[in-house]
C-alpha cells in the first residue's frame, strides 16, 4: 500500500476542490434492468475520479450518461453547474476516450486528431499547430501520416488520448483506458497519464475494472456494485477502511472470518470466530450491537507467519503451510489453519536468500497486530 | 516464464530419406518419392486442400465462362452462311496441303458503320448509369435504416428486400405493365381522384425502363450496402459526436467515406447487368431506341446472324471490362481491410 501512496504523490483533498461534476440521484433503466440505481456523486475540478467495479455494475453506463450517449431515466447530471438534460454529446464540454479507441479507420493519425478541431471551425494553421503540439505530448509526432491499422495497441491508445485532449476539454472521460495494453506498457502509460493530467489540469473520470489501475490513477475511487455506488473514498480509505464485505473483497485480497461480537468496549472489541478457531482483539471500538454477527477482514500482508506461538490469547492461530507462491517481490503462503480454513499470507522477500525459509507442510503460527483487522457489519 | 528456445520452423513435411525400408507408401506418395526431392517436397507441402478448394471456382469459370467466351469470340470472326451452324468455319483444309485461317473483321467494322449499334450502346450505358444512381439514391437510406435497427427488424427487412425475387422476374415485369399502361392501375386511380383528365403515357418510355430496372435491381444495391454499413462500429459515430460533429457532419465525414466500397459494389452490381438488360426494355421500353441487349437477341434470333451477334456481345463485354475491373479492385481492397 505504501508504494501505491507514494505513486499517487498527491494530497487527496476533494473537499477543497471546486465541484465540477454532480450526479444527482441518477437512475438508468434498460427495460426492466436497472443499470444505474439512484447514484449521487460529486467530482471536484482537477480530480481523477475512478469508477471501479466488475463487469455489468453500471460504471460504463454512468460514464456514457456523462458523455451524453445515454439519457438518465431519472435524476440529473450537472457539469460545471449546467444541467446536461437534453444537451447532445457534440455540445458537451466533455470528451471521451473510448475503450476500443474508436479511431476513424479511414483517416490518418493527424486526421483523427484534427477532426475535433475542424468541428470548431478553427483556422487551418491553428489546427495544424495544436495537432502537432498534442502529438508531441503523447510522443506520436513521428507517426502522423499512419493509418490506425498501421499502429500498435499502445500507439492507438496514445492517438485516442490525443484526439480527446486536443479539444482542451474541462472533463475527460476514459473508458477502460489501459485495458488493451500489456502490463509493462500499462504501468508506464498510467504515469504518463498522471503527468499529462497534472500539466493540463483536466478533470478525469476513469472507468475501470482493474483495481490496480484505479489505485495508481485515482485521487478518489467510487466502487460500484449492481448499479449502486457502494463506497467513495481515496485509494487508502478504500483499501484500509472498506465499508462493506463487497468492497473489502473486491479491492485487493482479504481473509474474511465470520464471528460474533463478545466484548464491545469504546476502546476495543473482541470477536469470537468459529471460522478462525480463535478470538480477534481489535484495538478500537466499532458501532454494532453486542452479540451481533460481524465479519473480520485481515489483509494478507498484515499477517505475520512464524514457527513460535506469539504471546497472548488473541490474534493468533496455528496452521500448516499448504502452498507457497514465490512472486519475486513477495511470497504468498496458503496456510490451512486448525479450523480447516485456508488463509492467505503474503510476506515481502527482504533477504535474497534466507537459510531457514518456511517450507511446505511446516506447522506455523499466524498472528497480526490488534490494529490490523477490519471489522465489518455488512 | 522461461522457455527453452524452440526453432520457430516446424520440420519439413517430407523427410529427405527415400524409400524407407519395409514401409508401404501410398501410391501417390510413392510417385512423389521417385520425383526429384525438391520438386516432390514442393508439391507435397504446397499442393494442399486449400489449393483444391481454390481450384473449384477456377474450373467452373473456365468451363462456363472462358470456353463459351472463346467460342463466341471465334464466331465473331467468321462469315454468316445459311447453313447449320449458320456461320463459316474459321479454319479450312484447302486440300492442296494448305490450311486456311480466315479472320473476318467485317462484323466489327459493320458495328461502327451502322448508327443503330453505336446509339444502342450509348443508350444502354446511359440507362444503366441513371438506373444505378437511382438505385443508390433509394437503396442507401434503406440499407442505412436496416443497419441501424435491432436484429429482429433487420432480419425481417432483409427478408422483405429479397422476397420479390421469390416470384418470377418476368411476372414482376409484366405486373409493371399492368400498373403503368394507359388504362392501368396508376392512371385509373389518378383519373378517379381527378388529378388528371387523360392518362399519362408511361409505357414505352425511358421512365418505364428506369422504373423496371430500379425496381428489379434494387436488392443488388441494398445488400452490399447493408453488408458494409452493418459492420460499422457504432463507437465511431459516438466518437464523432463526442468530438463535436453534428449528425450530418458525422454522416458525411465518417459513414459515407467508410461505406464507399459498398457504394461501388452496389453501383457495379446494378450497372453491369443493366447494360445488357433485355427483358425490361423489351417489355416496357421505347420502340424507337433499342438497348444493346435487344439488338443482340434480334441479331441472334430474328436475323440469325450469329457472327454479328457475337461481335455485338464481344464489344459489350469489352465495354464492361473496365467497370468489372474496378469492381474487382474494390472487392480485393474490402477483403484486405477486413483481414
Q: List the domain boundaries for chain B.
A: 27-75, 112-338
Distance from CA of B147 to the nearest CA of A (A): 19
pLDDT over threshold 60, residue B11: no
Preferred mutation among A91, A102, A149 to probe B, highest tally of B CBs within 10 A? A102
B242 neighbourhood in chain A, CB within 8 Å: 67-68, 89-90, 94-96, 164
Nearest CA in chain A to B339: A149
Q: pLDDT by residue (tens digit) across B55-99?
A: 888 899 999 989 999 999 999 999 888 888 888 888 888 888 888
Mind spelling out the 3-state secondary structure of chain A?
A: CHHHHHHHCCCCCCCCCCEEEEEEEEEEEECCEEEEEEEEEEEECCCEEEEECCCCCCHHHHHHHHHCCCCCCEEEEEECCEECCCCCHHHCCEEEECCCCCCCCCCCHHHHHHHHHHHCCCCHHHHHHHHHHHHHHCCCHHHCCCCHHHCCHHHHHHHHHHHHHCCCCCEEEEECCCCCCCHHHHHHHHHHHHHHHHHHCCEEEEEECCHHHHHHHCCEEEEEECCEEEEEECHHHHHHCCCCHHHHHHCCCCEEEEEEEEEECCCCEEEEECCCCEEEEECCCCCCCCCCEEEEEECHHHEEEECCCCCCCCCEEEEEEEEEEECCCEEEEEEEECCCCEEEEEEECCCCCCCCCCCCCCEEEEEECCCCCEEECC
pLDDT over threshold 50, residue B339: no
Residue B103 or residue A102, greater confidence: A102
Preferred mutation among A79, A84, A106, A114 to probe B, highest tally of B CBs within 10 A? A106
B258 neighbourhood in chain A, CB within 8 Å: 105-106
Closest CA to A171 of A334, A44, A298, A360: A44
Is A69 in Cβ contact with B243 (below 8 Å)? Answer: no
Mean pLDDT of A338-344: 92
Report the 10 Å Cβ neighbour count for A233.
Answer: 20
Q: Which long-range contacts (CB under 8 A, 24 or more apart) does B200-205 make?
A: B203/B177, B203/B284, B204/B284, B204/B285, B204/B286, B204/B287, B205/B285, B205/B286
Least confident of A7-16, A366-375, B318-327: A7-16
Q: Where in chain A is the domain with CATH 3.40.50.300?
A: 2-248
- Whether the CB-CB separation of A57 and A35 falls below 8 Å is answered with no
Nearest CA in chain A to B336: A149
At CB < 8 Å, which residues of chain A contact B? 67-69, 88-91, 94-96, 98, 100, 102-106, 115-116, 119-120, 149, 163-164, 167
Is B257 in Cβ contact with A67 (below 8 Å)? Answer: no
ipTM summary value: 0.81
Is B242 in Cβ contact with A90 (below 8 Å)? Answer: yes
Mean pLDDT of B155-182: 92
pLDDT over threshold 80, residue B14: no
Residue B174 main-chain phi, psi, to 5 deg: -60, -40
Is CATH 3.30.1330.40 what the domain over A2-248 is classified as, yes or no? no
Preferred mutation among B2, B244, B252, B262 to probe A, highest tally of A CBs within 10 A? B244
- Whether the CB-CB separation of A250 and A221 falls below 8 Å is answered with no
Distance from CA of A101 to the nearest CA of B (A): 8
User: CA-based Rg of chain A, rounded to a whole angstrom?
Assistant: 24
Is B246 in Cβ contact with A106 (below 8 Å)? Answer: no
CATH number of B112-338: 1.10.3720.10
pLDDT over threshold 50, residue B9: no
Where would I find the H helices in chain B? Answer: 27-34, 37-46, 49-61, 67-75, 106-113, 115-148, 151-162, 169-180, 185-192, 206-230, 234-242, 247-250, 256-258, 260-275, 279-284, 292-297, 306-338
Report the 10 Å Cβ neighbour count for B22.
Answer: 5
What pLDDT is stored for residue A3 in this prediction?
A: 38
Is B238 in Cβ contact with A98 (below 8 Å)? Answer: yes
Is A89 in Cβ contact with B235 (below 8 Å)? Answer: no
Structure confidence at residue B4 as a pLDDT band (50, 70, 90): very low
Is A98 in Cβ contact with B245 (below 8 Å)? Answer: no
Is B243 in Cβ contact with A115 (below 8 Å)? Answer: yes
Residue B91 CB contacts under 8 Å (≥ 6 apart), including other chains = B99, B100, B101
What pLDDT is stored for residue B33 in this prediction?
A: 57
Helix (H) or strand (E) holding B99, with range, is strand B99-101
User: What angle in degrees, to the nearest 10, is found between the helix axes of B206-230 and B260-275?
Assistant: 150
Q: How far is CA A327 from CA A332, A357, A363, in A?
A: 7, 15, 22
Q: Where in chain A is the domain with CATH 2.40.50.140?
A: 253-376
Closest CB to B242 among A95, A105, A120:
A95
Distance from CA of A297 to the nearest CA of B (A): 33
Mean per-residue pLDDT of chain B: 84
Structure confidence at residue B39 as a pLDDT band (50, 70, 90): low
CB pairs under 8 A between A and B: 60
How far apart, in whole angstroms, are the C-alpha atoms of residue A304 and residue A324? 15
SS3 B287: coil
Q: pLDDT by residue (tens digit) across A79-121?
A: 999 999 999 999 999 999 998 899 999 999 999 999 999 999 9
Q: pLDDT by residue (tens digit) across B243-293?
A: 999 999 999 999 999 998 889 889 989 998 999 899 999 999 998 888 999
CATH superfamily of A253-376: Nucleic acid-binding proteins (2.40.50.140)
Is B253 in Cβ contact with A90 (below 8 Å)? Answer: no
A98 neighbourhood in chain B, CB within 8 Å: 235, 238-239
Distance from CA of B231 to the nearest CA of A (A): 13
pLDDT over threshold 70, residue B44: no
Closest CB to A104 among B244, B254, B337:
B254
Is A90 in Cβ contact with B241 (below 8 Å)? Answer: yes
* CA–CA–CA angle A241, A245, A246 (5° rounding): 105
A161 neighbourhood in chain B, CB within 8 Å: none
A149 neighbourhood in chain B, CB within 8 Å: 337
Mean pLDDT of A21-41: 94
Nearest CA in chain A to B233: A102
Least confident of A30-39, A257-266, B43-52, B66-75: B43-52
C-alpha dihedral sign at B281, B287, B293, B297: positive
Is A119 in Cβ contact with B242 (below 8 Å)? Answer: no
Is B253 in Cβ contact with A89 (below 8 Å)? Answer: no
Is B242 in Cβ contact with A67 (below 8 Å)? Answer: yes
Is A67 in Cβ contact with B244 (below 8 Å)? Answer: no
At CB < 8 Å, which residues of chain B contact A? 233, 235-236, 238-246, 249, 253-254, 257-258, 337
What pLDDT is stored for residue A364 in this prediction?
A: 93
Nearest CA in chain A to B261: A106
Nearest CA in chain B to A103: B236
Is A120 in Cβ contact with B238 (below 8 Å)? Answer: no
Distance from CA of B59 to the nearest CA of A (A): 36
For residue B194, the 8-state DSSP code is T
Residue B115 CB contacts under 8 Å (≥ 6 apart), including other chains = none
What pLDDT is stored for residue B5 in this prediction?
A: 45
Distance from CA of B271 to the nearest CA of A (A): 26
Is B249 in Cβ contact with A98 (below 8 Å)? Answer: no
Helix (H) or strand (E) holding B91, with range, is strand B91-93
Is B241 in Cβ contact with A116 (below 8 Å)? Answer: no
Structure confidence at residue B21 as a pLDDT band (50, 70, 90): very low
pLDDT over threshold 50, residue B45: yes
Amino acid at each position: 500500500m505504501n508504494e501505491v501512496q507514494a505513486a499517487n504523490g498527491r494530497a487527496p483533498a476533494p473537499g477543497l476542490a471546486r465541484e465540477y461534476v454532480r450526479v444527482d440521484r441518477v437512475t438508468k433503466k434498460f427495460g426492466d434492468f436497472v443499470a444505474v440505481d439512484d447514484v449521487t456523486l460529486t467530482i471536484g475540478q482537477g480530480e481523477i475520479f475512478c469508477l471501479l467495479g466488475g463487469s455489468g455494475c453500471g460504471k460504463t453506463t454512468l460514464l456514457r450518461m456523462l458523455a451524453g450517449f445515454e439519457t438518465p431515466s431519472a435524476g440529473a447530471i450537472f457539469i460545471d453547474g449546467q444541467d446536461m438534460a437534453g444537451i447532445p454529446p457534440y455540445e458537451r464540454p466533455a470528451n471521451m476516450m473510448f475503450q476500443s479507441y474508436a479511431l476513424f479507420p479511414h483517416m490518418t493519425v493527424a486526421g483523427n486528431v484534427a477532426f475535433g478541431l475542424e468541428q470548431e471551425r478553427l483556422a487551418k494553421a491553428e489546427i495544424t499547430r495544436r495537432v502537432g503540439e498534442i502529438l508531441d505530448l503523447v510522443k506520436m509526432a513521428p507517426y502522423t501520416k499512419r493509418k490506425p491499422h498501421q499502429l500498435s495497441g499502445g500507439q492507438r491508445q496514445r492517438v485516442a488520448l490525443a484526439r480527446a485532449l486536443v479539444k482542451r476539454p474541462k472533463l475527460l472521460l476514459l473508458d477502460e483506458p489501459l485495458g488493451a495494453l500489456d502490463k509493462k506498457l500499462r504501468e508506464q502509460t498510467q504515469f504518463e497519464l498522471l503527468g499529462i493530467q497534472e500539466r493540463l489540469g483536466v478533470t478525469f473520470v476513469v472507468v475501470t475494472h482493474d483495481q490496480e489501475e484505479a489505485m495508481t490513477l485515482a485521487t478518489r475511487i467510487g466502487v460500484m456494485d449492481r448499479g449502486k455506488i457502494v463506497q467513495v473514498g481515496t485509494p487508502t480509505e478504500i483499501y484500509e477502511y472498506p465499508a462493506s464485505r463487497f468492497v473489502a473483497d473486491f479491492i485487493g485480497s482479504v481473509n474474511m472470518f465470520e464471528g460474533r461480537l463478545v466484548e464491545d468496549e469504546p476502546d476495543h472489541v473482541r470477536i469470537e470466530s468459529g471460522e478462525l478457531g480463535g478470538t480477534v482483539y481489535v484495538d478500537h471500538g466499532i458501532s454494532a450491537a453486542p452479540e451481533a454477527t460481524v465479519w473480520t477482514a485481515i489483509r494478507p500482508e498484515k499477517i505475520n507467519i512464524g514457527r513460535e506461538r506469539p504471546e497472548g490469547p488473541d490474534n493468533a492461530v496455528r496452521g500448516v503451510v499448504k502452498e507457497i507462491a514465490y512472486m519475486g517481490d513477495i511470497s504468498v503462503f496458503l496456510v490451512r489453519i486448525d479450523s480447516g480454513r485456508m488463509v492467505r499470507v503474503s510476506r515481502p522477500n527482504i533477504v535474497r536468500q534466507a537459510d531457514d525459509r518456511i517450507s511446505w507442510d511446516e506447522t506455523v503460527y499466524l498472528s497480526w497486530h490488534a490494529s490490523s483487522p477490519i471489522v465489518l457489519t455488512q | 516464464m522461461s522457455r527453452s528456445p524452440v526453432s520457430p520452423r516446424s520440420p519439413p513435411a517430407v523427410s529427405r530419406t527415400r524409400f524407407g525400408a519395409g514401409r508401404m507408401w501410398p501410391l501417390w506418395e510413392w510417385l512423389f518419392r521417385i520425383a526429384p526431392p525438391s520438386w516432390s517436397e514442393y508439391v507435397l507441402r504446397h499442393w494442399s486442400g486449400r489449393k483444391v478448394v481454390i481450384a473449384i471456382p477456377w474450373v467452373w469459370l473456365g468451363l462456363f465462362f472462358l470456353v463459351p467466351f472463346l467460342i463466341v469470340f471465334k464466331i465473331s470472326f467468321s462469315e454468316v452462311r445459311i447453313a447449320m451452324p449458320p456461320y463459316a468455319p474459321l479454319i479450312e483444309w484447302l486440300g492442296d496441303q494448305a490450311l486456311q485461317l480466315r479472320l473476318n473483321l467485317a462484323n466489327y467494322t459493320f458495328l461502327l458503320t451502322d448508327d443503330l449499334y453505336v446509339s444502342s450502346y450509348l443508350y444502354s450505358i446511359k440507362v444503366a448509369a441513371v438506373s444505378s444512381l437511382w438505385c443508390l439514391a433509394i437503396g442507401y437510406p434503406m440499407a442505412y435504416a436496416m443497419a441501424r435497427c435491432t436484429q429482429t427488424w433487420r432480419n425481417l427487412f432483409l427478408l422483405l428486400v429479397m422476397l420479390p425475387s421469390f416470384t418470377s422476374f418476368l411476372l414482376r415485369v409484366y405486373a409493371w405493365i399492368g400498373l403503368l399502361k394507359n388504362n392501368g392501375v396508376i392512371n385509373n386511380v389518378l383519373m378517379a381522384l381527378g388529378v388528371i383528365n387523360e392518362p399519362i403515357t408511361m409505357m414505352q418510355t425511358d421512365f418505364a425502363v428506369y422504373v423496371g430496372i430500379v425496381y428489379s435491381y434494387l436488392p443488388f444495391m441494398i445488400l452490399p450496402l447493408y453488408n458494409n454499413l452493418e459492420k460499422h462500429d457504432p463507437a465511431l459515430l459516438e466518437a464523432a459526436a463526442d468530438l463535436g460533429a453534428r449528425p450530418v457532419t458525422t454522416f458525411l465525414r465518417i459513414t459515407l467515406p467508410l461505406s464507399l466500397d459498398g457504394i461501388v459494389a452496389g453501383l457495379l452490381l446494378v450497372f453491369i447487368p443493366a447494360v445488357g438488360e433485355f427483358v425490361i426494355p423489351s417489355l416496357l421500353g421505347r420502340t424507337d431506341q433499342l438497348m444493346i441487349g435487344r439488338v443482340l437477341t434480334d441479331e441472334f434470333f430474328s436475323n440469325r446472324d450469329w457472327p454479328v451477334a457475337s461481335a455485338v456481345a464481344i464489344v459489350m463485354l469489352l465495354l464492361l471490362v473496365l467497370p468489372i475491373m474496378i469492381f474487382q479492385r474494390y472487392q480485393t481492397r474490402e477483403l484486405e481491410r477486413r483481414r
